[in-house]
Structure 1
């Protein structure tokens, strides 16, 4: 069951159940938890910003440093 289905079911159930305080509290807590879940950071919704992005940039930087060093050492000989 997806989060949107759970939200819609809880909302419908809250409308139908009026007397059960514990059931209403449970549904409200579920809805609150689903609103507060962690969402991955995105850059303009184009790509996600996480640890793998930093690692990819570091790999790229190291590759370019090796290429520049190879060119510099080749010209110094």
Structure 2
């Protein structure tokens, strides 16, 4: 997963406004007590970070690959 796809999933699932705040402030124990941004900055693979966040935020499995109705991005 590329970081651009990670952010597309974040924005689609949590919204353009809340996604950056969540990434900055939400700390996950499974990521070593780091926030999403800290884990990414430390070089953790975006897919692992995304799946950890999905588990923690109870994102349904059917939405973890993205929304079906999400607009296509160029």
In the superposition, the TM-score normalised over structure 1's length comes to: 0.29
Bigger helix share? 1
The structure number with the bigger radius of gyration is: 1
